[in-house]
Amino acid sequence: MPAPLIAIYPGSFDPPTNGHLDLIARGSRLVSQLIVAVLENTQKQPLFSVAERIAMLKEAAGSHANVQVDSFQGLLVDYAAERQAGVILRGIRAVSDYETELQMALLNRRMRPGTETIFLMASEEYSFLSSRMVKEIITLGGDVSHFVPSIVLSRLREKFSKR
Ligand code: PNS
């Protein structure tokens, strides 16, 4: 019998979108345990703190029994080793994602042989969606209610009403 499959779904999730949630739902059906891991990136100035992003992901993805939300610093492969995860899960939206994703998957496998990256094609309705665009639209006063889970919409509205 194959060993239980532990997968990590890493990302910035600033903020989580419906596309991320779709990938979590679909990915969680393929593996024994899915760890959604928020990168603590000291170089980027995020809109939401890591704690805020974790809280939103926990609330939005809380219904999946085999999904955990965590954060990590440093190399993804080191974190994967620490969590005993053999698989990295990533979504691909358009051809433009492919190049970077291929590079990351190959580098990760070179740094930690045996680490496999599983790609899921984004569902058509989310193939145009990104956290960056969500932030841009709301900054310019547009409606993002169709693009993010309700908890994220509330947090975005709070954030932008204070500005
Ligand atoms: O949501 P994003 O910003 O596309 O996610 C990118 C992420 C977090 C998966 C990537 O930047 C990453 O794994 N960073 C951790 C540092 C690392 O391991 N870098 C080498 C990757 S080859």
Closest-CA residue, ligand 1 atom 12, reads 76
Closest-CA residue, ligand 1 atom 17, reads 75
Would you state the pLDDT for residue 2? 76
CATH of domain 6-161: 3.40.50.620
- Positive or negative, the CA dihedral 47, 90, 37, 116 is negative
110 assigned to active site: no
Would you state the pLDDT for residue 159? 92
Would you state the pLDDT for residue 1? 73
**Residue 71 β-bridge partners:** 38
- Phi then psi for residue 89, to 5 deg, are -105, 130
pTM of the model: 0.96
Would you state the pLDDT for residue 161? 84
Would you state the pLDDT for residue 145? 97
Among candidate residues 12, 53, 90, 93, the one labeled active-site is 93
How many CB atoms are located within 10 Å of the residue 96 CB?
Answer: 9
64 assigned to active site: no
Q: Where are the domains of the chain?
A: 6-161
Distance CA 55, CA 62 (A): 10
Name the residue with tokens 């809380």.
62
Angle at CA 144, nearest 5°, toward 29 and 35? Answer: 25
Ligand 1 atom with minimal separation from the 39 CA:
8
The per-residue pLDDT string of the chain (163 residues; one tens digit each, 9 = 90 and over) reads: 778 899 999 999 999 999 999 999 999 999 999 999 999 988 889 999 999 999 999 999 999 999 999 999 999 999 999 999 999 999 999 999 999 999 999 999 999 999 999 999 999 999 999 999 999 999 999 999 999 999 999 999 999 986 6
All residues at 6 or more sequence positions from 128 whose CB lies less than 8 Å from its CB, including other chains:
93
Longest dimension (CA), the chain: 55
